[in-house]
Structure 1
Amino acid sequence: MSQTAERGATFKEVFAVREFRVLFGSFVLLVGGDAIKMLALSVLVYTRTGSPGLSAAAYMAGWLPYIVAAVFLMSLADRLPPRAVMITGEIVRAVVCLLLAFTGMSIWAMLALVLVTGLFSPIFGAVRNAMLPDVLPGDAFVLARSLLGVTSAGAQIGGMALGGAFLATVGPQGALTVTAVLSVVAAFVLRFGLPYRKARGTVRQGTVRTSLRVNRLLMSDGRVRGLLLAEWLPVIFIAGAEAMVVPYLGGQGQAGLVLGAAAVGMAVGEFAVGRFASPRLRERLSLPLAVLMGVPWLGFAFGPGPVVSAVLAACSTMGLAYQLGLQRRFLEAVPEDARGQAFGLQSAGMMSGQAVGALLIGVVGEVAGPGPGIAIAGAALLLVVLALVKPLRPSGV
């Protein structure tokens, strides 16, 4: 075992790798641009229709196709050269933004365009994640995943802030144009910053048939299945609890304080565990950190005010760093020629789980009330963690 693997990688070592700097820079442009795009599209739809429901549908439309792509199309992540796939993703995003901004298409055509092109967004992300172990082997890969997680939260918040500024000055069409420009810049960064790499997998069957076959292969492997469930299921109840914050507090400003604290807690946890815990300690922490996610939400049964609620939310989301302890084992468990599809399936399950959690705990909140609904989400999360002790606890611990 190398010295780096024993002591853990550092940010200096990660950023010393040119390919990672390119992937990181394009990722920041991607996440920030997507936040601006979805906000601008939502405002554009609301301006033209006056419908809050259609506006919300427009905001979520880009996320809905994840599960469809994961089931039927994700094998493309391993069957095509990664640089070409990522560049194609940026070009598609730029074209879609310009079409939305300037063609005057109907609202339903706009939503259909976002949904159809969104089918391929999970593939672009899966290719990026699958490249990381090639660029940064060993513990540097886990630290890079931590860094991308922290950056994703920050870039989304920054993208929302920039989107609001652009909307106020140049309107939704101008904001969509900004996203298109960011996508073109990212495409150039990827084209001239990354070397050519061959496709990881080989073409034997059609895309859909291969995707279904590999998904069956992954889910039939007990080790892979356990690690996927350990990533997917706790997120359902975290998302459900957060979805109840606004009705619980009854005010956007107070809810913003709590949700902002949750984002900070996630960033702090990811940074601290990713940077300062050794690889072995990081894996041992997976189980206690997963438990930490559920306990604070139980406090909402007692009706805490906004400040205490913010502290509880931040403490819970710090526990999301439990996922870092699963990354190395997941990488080792999946076949190398299906790595892209495996990472795509992992991400798609988490995205879909957030939607399921918001719906599920929303129903509970309607019956029991927002505060008890949040507490029930915390209790359910703890029960799920107890059921997942085996994949959450590395062998020999």
Structure 2
Amino acid sequence: MTSTSAPISRPDGPSPGERATFRDLFAVVEFRALFASFGIYMIGETVKMLALSVLVFERTGSPLLAALAYVAGFLPSVIGGMFLLAYADRWRPRRIMVGYDLIRLATAGVLALGVLPPGGALALVFCIGLASPVAMATRTALLPDLLSGDGYVLGRALFTITAGATQVLGFAVGGALIGLLGAYGALWVTAATCLISAALIRFGLADRPPRTIGTGGAVRETWRVNGQLLADRSVRDLLLAHWLPGSLLVGAEGVMVPYAGGEGAGVLFMAGAAGMLLGDLVVGRLAAPARREKLTPWLALLLGVPMLAFVADLALVLAAVLFAAATFGFSYHLGLARRFLDAAPVDRRGQAFGLSHMGMMTGQGLAAGAAGLAAEWLDPGLVMAGFGALSLAATLALWRVLRVPRMNVPRHA
């Protein structure tokens, strides 16, 4: 199939050393469409998983199945990332994103009709979730095609901020919709968001060709390219820098409830979200590119250092302040964004971003599980401090990677 529209030209963005502004980003027509679609997608997915969890609990009375319903769309992302990521580069980006939105539309419609038993609904959401990492990798890999220089880094920061903010909004909207329309009505609203997202992508983005032409099976190619990326030392080091310090902090977050109780944990979770969003906003918008990259290892240190204090019995307010300071450190990833873009092969950019996302989700899940297991025998505060220490140790071990800036010219042209 040939391209049905010419690429939409973007204005000259800031040079790599010049600080970008939000005005620079939103001056790009295609970025506006991609950004709006992402925000609507995040709200729709949050409402869907909340509504599905409520439905499963109402029909089964099982807290375990309700929890599985909430995470059913996220668990298969690791499987999809292991076996399907090659499609992110082998298919047209716009076709992938529109197709995924239409599949989500059909899924939400089937769930809203209530024709499936709880087990069938969970199985359907699980199967659709296998395609999620391909769509997410495609979306992320499209950003450097739309934004140049520091605009790309600020765009990544804006997407991270939006992901957190729209999840909070999605919980609020989802709760209100369930109260007004019931869980089935909320699912029909999710279906509408899928349709809107698909329309924004279809009519707001140019129809770009695939980045590479596949020569074999997608599963085999996914494994082969993942192996090649991990064998490349510069890519592998940056992946480890992305994965380890932050994932270990998530391990500490995994025992927040036993540490602070239900209401106290809610305060700490909100503080953590606020710290992360503030970090991306301040570091992404206010720090010049060179300064941001120099700050990278020090921001990574901030992930672990405040958590060491949790070994003591802290007042809730102090614990919230310290945890917000720790999650502010997540902004360290902005200093790695340009370096990872330069290190990744251009024709495998989609799979490289997908591998980064998959590894991060896997690491966070393993860390949270390990922390929960440790808290069966140890005091939760000690576990949180221990995972803060592990994050600190990982940062020090990766200091060379975090500190040394990569060359501005991509190695794989």
Q: TM-score range, shorter-chain basis?
A: over 0.9
Aligned residue identity for 2:23? K
Aligned residue identity for 2:66? S
From 198, 206, 215, give the equivalent of 1:204: 215
Aligned residue identity for 1:295? V
Q: Which runs of 4+ in 1 moved over 3 A?
A: none
Coordinate RMSD, CA, aligned: 1.5
CA contact (8 A) 2:254 2:372 kept: yes
Using the alignment, how far apart are the partners of 2:46 and 2:181 within structure 1? 16
Gaps of 5+ in 1: none
Per the normalisation by structure 1, the TM-score is 0.97
Which residue is equivalent to 1:356? 366
The CA deviation string for residues 246-296 of structure 1, in whole angstroms up to 9 with x for no partner, is 11111x222111110110100110011111111111111110000001011
2:339 maps to 1:329: yes
Distance 1:171 1:10, change over 3 A: same
From 374, 380, 395, give the equivalent of 2:390: 380
Per the normalisation by structure 2, the TM-score is 0.94
Aligned residue identity for 2:33? V
Residue correspondence of structure 1 range 10-89 to structure 2 within 5 A: 10-89=21-100
Using the alignment, how far apart are the partners of 1:375 and 1:278 within structure 2? 32
Q: How far did 1:90 drift?
A: 0.8
Gaps of 5+ in 2: 1-12, 408-413
2:254 maps to 1:254: no
Using the alignment, how far apart are the partners of 2:31 and 2:406 within structure 1? 33
Aligned residue identity for 1:336? V
The CA deviation string for residues 38-74 of structure 1, in whole angstroms up to 9 with x for no partner, is 1111111111100001111111111111221111110
Which residue is equivalent to 2:227? 216
Using the alignment, how far apart are the partners of 2:14 and 2:205 within structure 1? 28
Q: How far did 1:125 drift?
A: 0.7
Q: How far did 1:235 drift?
A: 2.5
Using the alignment, how far apart are the partners of 1:239 and 1:57 within structure 2? 20
Aligned residue identity for 2:196? V
Using the alignment, how far apart are the partners of 2:67 and 2:44 within structure 1? 18
Is the partner of 2:214 in helix, strand or coil? coil
Using the alignment, how far apart are the partners of 1:229 and 1:313 within structure 2? 23
Q: How far did 1:3 drift?
A: 5.8
Using the alignment, how far apart are the partners of 1:354 and 1:175 within structure 2? 29
Q: How far did 1:353 drift?
A: 1.8
Which residue is equivalent to 2:315? 305
Aligned residue identity for 1:46? F
Which residue is equivalent to 1:282? 292
Which residue is equivalent to 2:255? 244
Using the alignment, how far apart are the partners of 1:108 and 1:164 within structure 2? 23
Q: How far did 1:299 drift?
A: 1.0
Which residue is equivalent to 2:327? 317
CA contact (8 A) 1:219 1:225 kept: yes
Q: How far did 1:176 drift?
A: 1.0
Distance 1:214 1:396, change over 3 A: closer
Is the partner of 1:247 in helix, strand or coil? helix
Is the partner of 2:210 in helix, strand or coil? coil
Which residue is equivalent to 2:17? 6
The CA deviation string for residues 215-273 of structure 1, in whole angstroms up to 9 with x for no partner, is 011000001001111111123222111121111111x2221111101101001100111
CA contact (8 A) 1:237 1:361 kept: no
2:128 maps to 1:117: yes
Aligned residues: 396
Aligned residue identity for 2:123? A
Aligned residue identity for 2:335? G
Is the partner of 1:198 in helix, strand or coil? coil
Using the alignment, how far apart are the partners of 2:336 and 2:235 within structure 1? 11
Q: How far did 1:396 drift?
A: 8.3
Q: How far did 1:4 drift?
A: 3.3
Which residue is equivalent to 1:269? 279
CA contact (8 A) 2:114 2:184 kept: no
CA contact (8 A) 1:63 1:351 kept: no
More helix as a share of residues: 1
Q: How far did 1:139 drift?
A: 1.2
Which residue is equivalent to 1:102? 113
Which residue is equivalent to 1:180? 191
Which residue is equivalent to 2:203? 192
Using the alignment, how far apart are the partners of 2:132 and 2:329 within structure 1? 28
Q: Share of identical aligned residues, percent? A: 46
Aligned residue identity for 2:217? G
The CA deviation string for residues 115-157 of structure 1, in whole angstroms up to 9 with x for no partner, is 1110001110110100000000221111000000001000000
Is the partner of 2:329 in helix, strand or coil? helix
Aligned residue identity for 1:99? V
Using the alignment, how far apart are the partners of 1:344 and 1:89 within structure 2? 16
Aligned residue identity for 1:308? L
Using the alignment, how far apart are the partners of 2:231 and 2:174 within structure 1? 43
CA contact (8 A) 1:66 1:352 kept: no
The CA deviation string for residues 176-228 of structure 1, in whole angstroms up to 9 with x for no partner, is 11111001011111111111111111121110111111001100000100111
